[in-house]
């Protein structure tokens, strides 16, 4: 069997997008002063547009682009209900998290735990974040490398190395400013490609009315399945579970770094709201491509028909390859789209993780160093991160189960991080022992739920059946042995179709949207219980700036006075700086 290959025009399109990304990053790297503040925060002079695009690009991982359409193709449009908890999570971040995070002085959001508790808690949680982020970086490099490899026949590891070199060049040369503007360029590619593929796919599938009709006949057009069961894969209610995955995005180090690069809190809030609108719009379009794919293949599922693909995990790339037959460069655009998503996530996380490792895990153990030396240390950390994460993609290439293990481990760490931040921000009486106990409980319970769920599915005791698929309308262009047979898969009818044996423990039957909920619930309860058993936090010692504004009424009046004093001091300092600037301007004018 010959290796797959692409026409030269497709390689040109991919190469052009990579050259453009590198060029944009290098161009904006020259406009900085080369200082540590410039590398970390872009000089704190970044504008709303590039930061909005950068944040959205970082959240738009390659997994979403490839997997979202597949989810809708197999299980229908009920998944679109997740736009509501996504919006709620963004608003939660803007009005609850942002006032606290923007008040921090460090590039690391984990300074919160230093000011709320002590430096030991900060170091422990920052170390957990390193482990969590490394897994995400590895997958952000590997997924686009694997997708492009399947099209061109080049080793995924070789492609990963090339992509990593490109990321490395502008990450080390310009810091946040270069990364943010390169992300913006990649985001423009993502937006263009999404609209282009949706438009061409809609035309090829027969137009709006035909797509709607075929998907309705296939029981895929639904949005308000109000089945209250938490054991059904996708309902209006189970989609709410994405809130617990979405809200923590605004607690991440990469988002915090971007918020701090803006000149004011109001600018940061505007970025969150704009990125919410952009992210939801793109997600709806990308998931809708799954509806287009179903309409295009209606009655002749290519996997059942044993055509050129053998798994529904590649149904969207296959759909694009089919509609791109008479459109040279379109396949290259698709891969540029996937690669752009991977590059934006990788560069953002390299830049952020190098800064947070230095701030949280290296700087506290060093004597004061010059800004130049600190800058060199951070660049050295980027080099180490690049080598380590790129090398580990080789392991993913040979060990398919690592992908599943990564998803499991990331979910456990995300549950812990959600509990750690939220218990500390909303419950002022939770002490350091309670917060650590709560985080460990959240991670442990989530891990048990996930392992039990995966084990039940692997053993066949629990499964999610897709909506009905068939080869009834195939024209005999598939495996000869099956040419006279009609194959079917899935269940007819609306609703989610999840089944489980009675022997399976109820927690192991939960919808995947709810994997984190038991851990988060148990973690917060444990944080409260341990705090009361060991002595609640003395509210007089709590920094009010580290409690969400809506819960500060719980603090004694002395704490509020301290907060007002701190605000006045900051305003006085700011006014003093402005006065100095005005004096200089006046002197210059004279």
The 10s digit of each residue's pLDDT in 232-271 is 888 999 999 889 888 888 888 889 989 999 999 999 999 9
pLDDT higher than 50, residue 79: yes
In a domain, 193, yes or no: yes
Domain C-terminal end among 373, 398, 423: 398
Pairwise pLDDT comparison (489 vs 471), residue with the higher score: 471
Domain co-membership, 22 together with 135: yes
- The whole-number average pLDDT for the span 265-283 is 94
Residues in the chain: 590
Read off the pLDDT of residues 146-193 as tens digits, 9 standing for 90 and up.
Answer: 888 877 888 888 999 999 998 888 788 778 888 888 889 888 888 888
pLDDT higher than 70, residue 569: no
Domain C-terminal end among 398, 423, 443: 398
Domain co-membership, 360 together with 383: yes
Domain co-membership, 452 together with 534: yes
In a domain, 361, yes or no: yes
In a domain, 90, yes or no: yes
pLDDT, residue 563, reads 54
pLDDT, residue 583, reads 37
pLDDT higher than 70, residue 230: yes
Closest CA to 381 of 143, 115, 133, 42: 133
pLDDT higher than 70, residue 579: no
In a domain, 192, yes or no: yes
In a domain, 367, yes or no: yes
In a domain, 480, yes or no: no
pLDDT, residue 216, reads 93
Domain co-membership, 373 together with 393: yes
For residues 433 and 423, what is the distance between their CA atoms, to the nearest angstrom? 12
The reported pTM is 0.85
Domain co-membership, 113 together with 188: yes
pLDDT, residue 483, reads 53
pLDDT, residue 236, reads 92
What CA–CA distances, in Å, run from 316 to 66, 139, 151, 338? Answer: 7, 19, 13, 12
pLDDT, residue 562, reads 54
Q: Which two tokens stand for residue 29?
A: 């790297």
- The whole-number average pLDDT for the span 428-438 is 95
In a domain, 115, yes or no: yes
pLDDT, residue 63, reads 62
- Residue 405 binned pLDDT confidence (cut-offs 50, 70, 90): low
CA atoms within 13 A on the CB side of 148: 31
pLDDT, residue 170, reads 78
In a domain, 494, yes or no: no
Domain co-membership, 533 together with 578: no
pLDDT, residue 156, reads 87
pLDDT, residue 347, reads 87
Pairwise pLDDT comparison (38 vs 74), residue with the higher score: 74
pLDDT higher than 90, residue 334: no
pLDDT, residue 574, reads 43
CATH label of the domain that carries residue 374: 1.20.1730.10
pLDDT higher than 70, residue 572: no
Read off the pLDDT of residues 382-402 as tens digits, 9 standing for 90 and up.
Answer: 999 999 999 988 876 555 444
Q: Name 507's Cβ contacts closer than 8 Å, sequence gap at least 6.
A: 448, 449, 452, 518
Pairwise pLDDT comparison (324 vs 533), residue with the higher score: 533
Pairwise pLDDT comparison (116 vs 479), residue with the higher score: 116
pLDDT, residue 589, reads 42
Contact indicator for 546, 425 with CB cutoff of 8 Å: yes
pLDDT higher than 70, residue 350: yes
Percent of the chain with pLDDT over 90: 39
Specify the number of domains making up the chain: 3
Domain co-membership, 58 together with 88: yes
Read off the pLDDT of residues 41-63 as tens digits, 9 standing for 90 and up.
Answer: 877 888 999 999 999 988 876 66
Domain boundaries, position 530: 402-461+501-555
- The whole-number average pLDDT for the span 290-313 is 88
For residues 99 and 548, what is the distance between their CA atoms, to the nearest angstrom? 7
pLDDT, residue 124, reads 87
pLDDT higher than 60, residue 201: yes
For residues 176 and 171, what is the distance between their CA atoms, to the nearest angstrom? 8
Other beta carbons within 10 angstroms of residue 384's beta carbon come to 11
- The whole-number average pLDDT for the span 518-522 is 96
Domain co-membership, 360 together with 412: no
Rounded mean pLDDT of the chain?
84
Domain co-membership, 234 together with 255: yes
Domain co-membership, 389 together with 411: no
Map 453-502 to HEC letters: HHHHHHCCCEEEECECEECCCCCCCCCHHHCCCCCEECECCCCCEEEECC
Domain co-membership, 137 together with 217: yes
Q: Name 70's Cβ contacts closer than 8 Å, sequence gap at least 6.
A: 290, 312, 313, 315, 316
- The whole-number average pLDDT for the span 471-477 is 76
- Residue 429 binned pLDDT confidence (cut-offs 50, 70, 90): very high
pLDDT, residue 37, reads 77
Read off the pLDDT of residues 150-160 as tens digits, 9 standing for 90 and up.
Answer: 778 888 889 99
Domain co-membership, 356 together with 435: no
């Amino acid at each position: 069997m010959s290796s797959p290959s692409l026409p030269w025009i497709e390689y040109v399109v991919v190469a052009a997008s990579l050259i453009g990304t590198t060029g944009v990053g290098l161009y904006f790297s020259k406009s900085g002063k080369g200082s540590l503040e410039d590398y970390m925060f872009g000089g704190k002079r970044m504008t709303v547009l590039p930061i909005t695009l950068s944040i959205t690009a970082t959240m738009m991982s390659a997994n979403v682009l490839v997997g979202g359409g597949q989810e809708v193709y197999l299980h229908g449009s009920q998944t679109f209900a997740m736009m509501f908890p996504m919006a709620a999570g963004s608003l939660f971040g803007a009005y609850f998290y942002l006032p606290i995070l923007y008040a921090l002085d460090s590039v690391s959001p984990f300074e919160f735990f230093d000011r709320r508790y002590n430096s030991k808690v900060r170091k422990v949680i920052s170390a957990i974040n390193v482990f969590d982020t490394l897994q995400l970086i590895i997958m952000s490099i590997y997924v686009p490398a694997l997708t492009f490899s399947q099209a061109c026949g080049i080793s995924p590891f070789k492609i990963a190395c090339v992509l990593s070199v490109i990321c490395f060049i502008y990450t080390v040369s310009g810091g946040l400013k270069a990364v943010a503007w390169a992300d913006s360029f990649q985001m423009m590619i993502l937006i263009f490609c999404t609209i282009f593929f949706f438009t061409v796919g809609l035309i090829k599938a027969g137009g709006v009315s035909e797509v709607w009709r075929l998907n309705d006949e296939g029981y895929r057009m639904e949005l308000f399945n109000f089945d209250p069961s938490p054991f059904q894969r996708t309902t209006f209610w189970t989609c709410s579970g994405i809130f617990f995955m979405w809200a923590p995005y605004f607690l991440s180090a990469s988002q915090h770094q971007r918020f701090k690069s803006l000149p004011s809190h109001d600018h940061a809030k505007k970025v969150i709201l704009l990125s919410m609108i952009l992210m939801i719009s793109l997600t709806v379009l990308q998931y809708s491509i799954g509806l287009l794919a179903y309409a295009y293949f209606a009655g002749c599922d290519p996997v059942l028909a044993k055509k050129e693909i053998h798994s529904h995990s590649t149904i969207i790339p296959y759909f694009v390859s089919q509609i791109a037959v008479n459109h040279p460069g379109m396949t290259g655009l698709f891969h540029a789209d996937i690669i752009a998503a991977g590059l934006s996530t990788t560069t953002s996380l390299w830049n952020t993780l190098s800064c947070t490792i230095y701030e949280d895990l290296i700087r506290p153990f060093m004597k004061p160093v010059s800004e130049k030396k600190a800058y060199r240390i951070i660049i050295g950390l980027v080099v180490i991160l690049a080598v380590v994460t790129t090398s580990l993609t080789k392991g993913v290439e040979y060990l398919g189960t690592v992908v599943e293990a990564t998803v499991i481990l990331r979910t456990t760490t995300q549950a812990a991080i959600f509990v750690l931040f939220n218990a500390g921000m909303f419950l002022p009486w939770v002490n350091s022992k309670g917060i650590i106990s709560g985080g460990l409980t959240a991670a442990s319970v989530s891990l048990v739920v996930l392992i039990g769920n995966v084990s039940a599915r692997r053993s066949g005791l629990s499964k999610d059946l897709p909506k009905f698929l068939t080869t009834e309308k195939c024209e005999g262009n598939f495996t000869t042995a099956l040419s006279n047979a009609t194959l079917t898969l899935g269940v007819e009818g609306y609703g989610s179709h999840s089944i489980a044996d009675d022997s399976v423990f109820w927690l192991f039957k939960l919808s995947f949207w709810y994997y984190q909920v038991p851990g988060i619930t148990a973690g917060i309860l444990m944080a409260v219980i341990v705090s009361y058993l060991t002595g609640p936090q003395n509210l007089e010692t709590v920094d009010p700036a580290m409690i969400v504004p809506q819960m500060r009424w719980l603090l004694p009046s002395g704490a509020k006075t301290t907060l007002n004093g701190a605000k006045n001091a900051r305003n006085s300092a700011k006014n003093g700086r402005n006065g100095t600037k005005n004096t200089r301007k006046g002197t210059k004018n004279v």
